[in-house]
Amino acid sequence: MATIVRPRQKGPVKPQVEVLFSAKQIASRVEALAQEISADYKGRNLLLIGVLKGSFMFLGDMIRHLAVPVEIDFLSVSSYAGDTSTGMVKLNFDFKTDARGRDVLLIDDIVDTGFSLAFARKHILERKARSVEVGVLLDKPQRRKVLVPVRYTGFTVPDRFVVGYGLDYNERYRELPYIGVLPLEKIGP
Ligand code: 5GP
Ligand code: MG
């Protein structure tokens, strides 16, 4: 059963958010993923590259449970004209670390059409990384338009617009400690 909670917030009341994954559920799944990643990358030269901004909370929580040393960097991509359906992705800013010969794990909040991660993965491979795997907190498989090999997935979500735990709606709701669905008709433009 979906629970409805009102986000803890001073000031204007936010619309009610239907919780899909609670903070507790996320914490235990993220820890399990970190254990899997630690086992897979034992003795290797792991470089984590987070896709900003959405991945910051997932990445930040996940690395606390890693048992292998890592380096961390970030890149930012976006779709042209805010349209994710065309596959036109641009690099807003690039990561700085020398990826040559590195085992890279590219981390994002959600894989939706797949265009962003396909673009970012190709970009890192062109920088001569030894391997580039992908890890996402959420997978929305119904919306996929391009194949991206995703090695680590936290949860599969239905084709609904989710917010919280790093994911935004017009730059809001990233701070929510859970993942939920916004009733968009209630919040207007
Ligand atoms: P793509 O369609 O390229 O796989 O995903 C592009 C980006 O769209 C994701 O990295 C994410 O920032 C955003 N996105 C896709 N689906 C959702 C969603 O349900 N909620 C939010 N907040 N962002 C989404
Ligand atoms: Mg994103």
Pocket test for ligand 1, best of 84, 117, 140 (most atoms within 8 A of CB): 84
State residue 80's pLDDT score: 75
Q: Is 61 a catalytic residue?
A: no
State how far the alpha carbon of 153 is from the alpha carbons of 32, 51, 52, 76, 121, in Å: 11, 15, 18, 20, 16
State residue 16's pLDDT score: 78
Q: Which CATH number fits domain 23-176: 3.40.190.10, 3.30.420.240, 3.50.50.60, 3.40.50.2020?
A: 3.40.50.2020
Pick the atom of ligand 1 nearest to 169's CA. Answer: 22
Centre of ligand 2 from the C-alpha of residue 115, in Å: 11
State residue 3's pLDDT score: 61
Pocket test for ligand 1, best of 167, 171, 175, 181 (most atoms within 8 A of CB): 167
The pair of structure tokens assigned to 114 is 């797949």
State residue 183's pLDDT score: 80
State residue 82's pLDDT score: 55
CA atoms of 49 and 104, how far apart (whole Å): 7
State residue 81's pLDDT score: 61
Domain ranges of the chain: 23-176
Class of residue 3 by CB neighbours under 10 A (exposed 0-12, middle 13-18, buried 19+): exposed
184 three-class SS: helix
Question: For every one of its 189 residues, what pLDDT tens digit does the chain have, with 9 covering 90 and above?
Answer: 566 665 555 555 556 789 999 999 999 999 999 999 999 999 998 999 999 999 999 999 999 999 999 999 999 999 876 555 667 999 999 999 999 999 999 999 999 999 999 999 999 999 999 999 999 999 999 999 999 999 999 999 999 999 999 999 999 999 999 999 988 665 555
Protein residue closest via CA to atom 16 of ligand 1: 112
State residue 79's pLDDT score: 85
Cβ pair 128, 100 in contact under 8 A: yes
